[in-house]
Structure 1
Amino acid sequence: MEKHKLVSLHLIRLHHAEFGQFIVRFFEDFSRTSLDANTDADFKRMFDALQTQIPNYNSALDQVRASEESAKIAEADKARDIDVQALKDSVKPYRNAKVQTEKDAYISIKILLDQYKGVEDTSYEEETNKLNLLVAKLQSPEYSSHVATLGIVKFVNHLSDSNIAFNDLFSHRSYQVSQKQTYDVKALRKILTDDYSQMANYIAMLANIKSDVFYKDVLAVINNGRKYFSDLLARRNGNSSPKTESNN
């Protein structure tokens, strides 16, 4: 008599987002069948308990993404702060310029830059606005000739580019991080894994004990998702297709 088994799948090797997709995939596959979860009261209880955890897990993933975006934003801000300092440093060699045009250019640019002293320490939004104004002035007819005389065009362009890059990233950031409730994605994943494994093992066991085709059909649904993600892991690691055995 053929023994029904779970397709081998190392759940721990799935990335957090992949694990979330794996759980959702089961419910999507199940919904495409004519199977009724109410056929088995214990299965229905585990089925519902698993499903109710999905929203919190997705929120936890959003929180992780928001945190990653915040780190990228901080890096982008640091990059433009470096460009601000580079622009300031670029005019220093002309403090004692002997050529009058260079003296005039240095004085004009230095006075302008002094108006933006400490701009790196302001809020993200304020710094963005101030740097937009600074770059616009440096590129205006009033200052462009001075910028050209001192040969600091590239420093102005670098600042313009890094400020634009920061603003593009900042304006598209995820706002989920502002939620009052915080989530522990690892803890939520562990609970999901334990509950999923209990349900999957329950079905696999009854598929071999019960004559009701329901359990075999549910196992087929479970194995459909397990095989997909097991193949994904195999491709990632350059391995062959998975065997069919219980491995949660």
Structure 2
Amino acid sequence: MKKIPEILYLKSARNAEHYNLQEALLKAVSTSFATEYKLTELRDSYASLFEKEDSIYLQNKAFADTKELSDKDAVRDRLFRLVKLTIQSKQLSLIPAEVAAGDKLAFAMKPYSTAASKPDAENTAMVSDFVKKLQSDEYSSYVQTLGLTEVVASLKTANDEFAELYSRRADEKRVRTVTETLLQVRPQVDDAARKLFEAINAIYMVSEVIEKDAAKMAAIGAVIDAINAEIVQFSETLSRRGIGSKAKVDPDDKPLIPPEEGGGGEDDRPVIE
């Protein structure tokens, strides 16, 4: 009789291994299949919990707005470089007023000249201070002489937008760390999957033993086979790291996974990266 077995060594799986397994298992049980066999509530619960794991896992790898942050940083750096190069070029001007303004602003810029090469937080702070200085009464007239008033205003806007996004990104990380972590979510996902698979096993058993419905057995059996194939792949991945033994498949396509052997020398705590 086809059956989805208990999935062993889940606690020893690395985050990526656990994520990839659960993603594949959820895909194996389609929404249409769940609807047909009245498993929607169980699948929805599983999917909802996996969405939490998905969100946290992907954010741990890279925040969703990383590209946006990089793009805003690039805009800011181009504007900063434009100000810097304009000041330097005006120091070579044939117009005395521009040379004087260029010299004044070059002096003002000296402490901030390497801002673009600094880490994000330091870069932001340096540009913010630099803009304040250029927009102050002491330097604003020189900025105007070099035609940089609008450019400096644009630099301020770009820096403020970067700072806002960077701060939001930090807040998301802080909230995530305080509330829900993978350490908490992974066992919840595992439990939801177990309940769904137990229900699938029960429906298959009824169709085989009581109803003797060949078409129904074939449909449910195909899903069981797909799930079991992912379990075999998962066990193979772990066995290569010395955790457990490689699952085998009996003639009825049910993975035969040897009993727990202590996790290959590792403890049972989730491997949270």
TM-score (norm 2): 0.49
SS in 2 for 1:98: coil
Gaps of 5+ in 1: 1-9, 15-24, 31-49, 212-244
Q: 1:60 to 1:145 in 2, by over 3 A?
A: same
Q: Which residue of 2 aligns with 1:58?
A: 52
Identity of aligned residues (%): 21
How far the C-alpha of 1:171 sits from its partner, in A, is: 0.7
Please name the residue that 1:175 is paired with: 173
Instruction: Identify the match of residue 87 of structure 1 among 65, 83, 86.
Output: 83
Cα distance change of structure 1 residues 29 and 78 upon mapping to structure 2, 3 Å threshold: closer
**Residue-by-residue CA offset, 1:20-72 (whole Å, 9 max, x unaligned):** xxxxx835988xxxxxxxxxxxxxxxxxxx69x94x86245223135134623
- Give the alignment of 1:56-205 within 5 angstroms: 58-65=52-59, 67-69=62-64, 71-72=66-67, 73-173=69-169, 174-175=172-173, 195=194, 198-205=197-204
Q: Contact 2:143–2:149 at 8 Å: present in 1 too?
A: yes
Q: What CA distance in whole angstroms lies between the structure 1 residues aligned with 2:102 and 2:44?
A: 69
Q: Write the letter of the residue equivalent to 2:94.
A: K
> How many angstroms apart in 2 are the aligned matches of 1:198 and 1:111?
70
Paired residues of 1:76 and 1:166 also in contact (CA < 8 A): yes
- Structure 2 unmatched runs, 5+: 1-24, 30-39, 211-218, 224-273
Q: How far apart are the structure 1 equivalents of 2:192 and 2:44?
A: 18
Q: Within 2, Cα distance between the matches of 1:198 and 1:28?
A: 10
Using structure 1 for the length normalisation, give the TM-score. 0.53
CA distance in 2, matches of 1:164, 1:199: 53
RMSD: 4.3
Q: Does the Cα contact within 8 Å between 2:105 and 2:142 map onto a contact in 1?
A: yes
Q: How many residues align?
A: 173
Higher relative contact order (CA 8 A, sep 6+): 1
Distance 2:59 2:145 in 1: 46
